[in-house]
Every structure is written in C-alpha cells, then in structure tokens.
A and B are shown apart, each in its own frame.
Chain A
C-alpha cells in the first residue's frame, strides 16, 4: 500500500476535506460524483488530490449515474466511492438497491442536508430512514454515523474494509455541519495503526472455467421466479443477521445507575455527551447511549443498558422528526421504559436544549 500521510500528523480542516484524505489513505481508486451542497468539497478536494496520486474521478450527469457507475467500477475490481446529500441521496437509492441486490462493495459518504425536497443546504439528520432503509429492499446496508472529524477519517477507512469484507453497501453518514466545519484531527496511513486494508478484487471477468475451476458468480438484480427471489432475499437476510454482531458499534457512558438515558447519534451525540456531564455535576443521574452503527443497530447492547440501569426514561434527541426514534422503537420492542423525545428537524441541538428537556421530564 502506498503511503499517503507518512508519519501520523495533526490537521485542521473541513469534514469534506477529511473524507477526501481518508479515501486517499484507504487506497480508493476512483470517485464518481455529481455536485450537491454540502458534499461538493469532497469532490473538489478529491479532484485536487487524485491526479497527484494516480487516482481517478468522473463527474456524471446526475446522481443516478454516479451511483450506477460506482456499482460498475466495484465489479471491475476498483475501490470506488461516491458522496451525496439530500435529493441526491434520494436519486441514489436505485443504485444503492442494486448494490444490495448484487452484494456490491460500494462506499458512499452522505452529508445530510435539510429536507424534505431541497430543504436547506445546511444541516439535518433527516436522511436516517433513507440511508438505513431506502430503496425497494430490506435495508441490507451498513451505516456508520460519525460525530467528529476524527471519526469521519477513521470510519471512511473502516467503511471501505467493511464493504469489501462483507459485500454489503456501506455508508458513512455525516451531515452539513460535519461537512463544512473545521476542527482538528489526526491523519495516518492505515498500516501504521495496524489496520490491514482489504484489497479490492474483480467480481466479473475472473479467470477459470465455471464449474471446474470456480463457482459461477451470481451478480443478479432481477429474477424470473418469485421463489428464486425469495430464496435469495432469505439467504442474504440470514447472512446479514449473522454478521451483524461483529459489525455493530456503540458508545455507552454513565448508564449503570442512570434514571434517564439520552440516546442520540452523529453530531448530536457531542451535545448529549456534554449534557450528561453537566447534568451529572448537578446530581441528575443521566446516561449517554449512542449507536455508531445505525444499521445494523446495537439492539442487544441497548436492551442490556436499559435492563441493567433500570432507567425510567429514554430521551431520544435528533435533528429530525422521529427517524432515529422509529429505528430505536423497532429495535427495543417490548421494553417498558418510557420514551421521551426531543425532535429538532433540520436544526442543530446543543447541550442546553437537552438539559432543558431532561429537567422538564425528571
């Protein structure tokens, strides 16, 4: 693997620039993209960096095409990625569905903006449903929701590995704040952190005679018989469920004796973390739980936290009107803990908002 960064070094940059550097360090071959705010600078920085490192870029005519060309490139054995947001994410659901159907190791970076429709170009957490369960399939995807530039860097590198290891479409779910803000992070070459990068491999045109030297490759997104499709979806579902335990990631802090557990994801978890510290200092027993993977969801871990703490309340805080809440409710069905919500669709949430809400509950 080519070394890009050299000695691990500190940097101060935007999240979009961080994405471009992480893709470079992870050994990405090519980006396909179509401009949309707040993702544009991923493309801008990538096009600036790519030629220097012999990587490629193609701007397509729209997001459908950007998604499908990414699907094509990974079949040819290229480590390919795309990045989009908002309405672009909507359009990409069709290629993402194909990636689910054909088990294509596509990595996509989503920088959520306000919705519905063109909404705002600024920020939201309103693409959770779309990114986890969009398309006409079963949500066989892996979705990492990042909170800091360091995580953006770490999970882009990890995301490529996850995609190529498990062959489920993988997403790094950021947002307009993370895309546009500047904050410090450490950049590194994965090999210097003991991270083994999975090399891409072609899925089509592979040598050997079918039936003698190798099994046939079934890269199929349409079936003649309903029974055929049923079998495939059931098999893929079982496989997705069996690998989920090794993929799920979460953070839990101060939950052991908590009366109220604040659940948030992505950039909002930074405010939740601060809120819990302040509440604890005031003698209020608040806990912090954050799913890092929204798909698969850390269901078991959240159930355990609820049971062990004996918490009376969950407070779900998100910059959307219940998209995280719906995910959580389906995952913890049957738990009797009371669920309270702080929905602020399309706007940022700060520690003050959460503290105020907690005090109105307890």
Chain B
C-alpha cells in the first residue's frame, strides 16, 4: 500500500482523535508505517478538532500534509476548515445531518459524498457511538486497516469500559459495521450515478 493521507475533522468532543488513535494503533499492529498528529488549539472544549493521519508501507516523512487523499468533515464548521486540504485527487466526505453553507464545500475534489452518520447514530444506535460509525466508514472508504485489526485496537483502548458494561462492546462494533456498510454504499451509489 502506498501512502494514504486522511484528514478527519469534527467538533471537539465528537471523538475524532479517539478514532485516529484506534485506527493508527490498528495499522501499527498490522506492521504498517503510520503517523498521527492531532491539530490542537487553545480550546479545552469545542472548536474544530482535526486529526492528520498517514498510512504507508514505507517510512513516512513530514507529519503534516497540504492535501489529503480523504477528508472527512463531521460538522458544518469542519467543512470550511478542511476544504483547503482537498484537491482533484481527494475524496471529500461530510455528514449529511447538519446545515452548512454550500459555498464551504471544496472547489476541487475527486468526489464529494455525504453520509448520514449523525442521523444513524441518533436514530438507530446511540449518539455516543457516532465516532465508531465514522471509524467504520473510514475503513469502508479506504481499507487502510482490516476490520479485525480495528476491532482489536478498539478492544485494547476500551477494555476497561467493556469489562463493566459488555453491551458497550456490541454497540461499538455494530456502529463500526454500520459505518463500513454506509461508506461502501455511498461509494457504490457514486459509481452508479457516474456510470
């Protein structure tokens, strides 16, 4: 696998950094080269939080990048903040569950797709596992790590929570599965529309 660069952005507290941690941990366990750098500001809470993630089979150079292969924006503000990381090779993904100014979408992108992650989390699962839907979606969109490796890394990170509440494990994994399917479906629809 050659270099894949992902910018994952959302509101502080949505859990995008946790997703980045789990994904890179999974990639590391699968013997990939990987770097993850959080964009951190002054805010203790709130504000747009961005995770810059890179996966490769070779040593990775600079920890940041100007243009991403995949951008995932999880709030209205996050779209504007991350549009600049998109160019003609970028898959730009945003959540369809919030209002935003269409002007904020990137001018350049290979594809722009919307996924209903927030809505699905709220209706079908639990708002808490929204970020696990996103993690599943990242895997579905990019195949950067195997589903199994992500599950293991999730287990590693949240073992202490799962111990006291085993239902949480199932809920999280279910969310990942739904996210993965959601992403695969979006890509398929895109192909159908273009085809």
A: residues with CB less than 8 A from B are: 12, 37-38, 121-122, 177, 180-184, 267-268, 270-271, 273-274, 348-353
Contacts and interface: CB of A to CB of B under 8 A. Distances in A.
Nearest to A272: B61
Nearest to A347: B64
Nearest to A350: B62
10 contacts: A122-B41, A177-B64, A181-B35, A181-B36, A181-B63, A182-B36, A267-B62, A270-B62, A350-B65, A351-B61
A112 to B, nearest CB: 14
Nearest to B20: A182
Contact of A349 (B24, B25, B62): B62
Contact of B37 (A37, A177, A184, A274): A177
A350 B66 contact: yes
Contact of B60 (A38, A183, A349, A353): A183
Contacts of B62: 267-268, 270-271, 274, 348-351
B39 interface: yes
Contacts of B37: 177, 180-182
Nearest to B65: A350
A33 to B, nearest CB: 19
Given A122-B41, A180-B38, A181-B63, 4 more contacts: A181-B35, A182-B21, A182-B34, A182-B35
A267 B38 CA distance: 16
Interface of B: 21, 24-25, 28, 33-42, 60-66
A12 B40 CA distance: 20
Contacts of A352: 66
A211 B126 CA distance: 78
A12 B63 contact: no
B35 A183 contact: yes
Contacts of A353: 66
Contacts of A12: 24-25, 28, 34
Contacts of A38: 40
A267 B35 CA distance: 13
A226 B21 CA distance: 57
A271 B54 CA distance: 14
B116 to A, nearest CB: 30
A177 B61 contact: no
A122 B39 contact: yes
Contacts of A177: 37, 63-64
A94 to B, nearest CB: 27
Contact of A273 (B33, B40, B61): B61
Contacts of B61: 270-271, 273-274, 350-351
A151 to B, nearest CB: 13
B33 to A, nearest CB: 7
B40 A348 contact: no
A270 B65 CA distance: 12
Contacts of B60: 183
A37 B21 CA distance: 20
Given A177-B64, A350-B65, A183 B38 contact: no
Nearest to B64: A348
Given A348-B64, A351-B62, A183 B34 contact: yes
Nearest to B67: A352
A122 B38 CA distance: 10
A38 B35 CA distance: 17
Contacts of A351: 61-62
Nearest to B27: A12
Contacts of A274: 61-62
A271 B34 CA distance: 16
Nearest to B53: A182
A184 B30 CA distance: 12
B40 A122 contact: yes
Contacts of A349: 62
A274 B62 CA distance: 8
Closest 6 CB pairs of A and B: A274-B61, A181-B37, A348-B64, A271-B62, A12-B28, A270-B61
Nearest to B38: A180
A144 to B, nearest CB: 19
Contacts of A271: 61-62
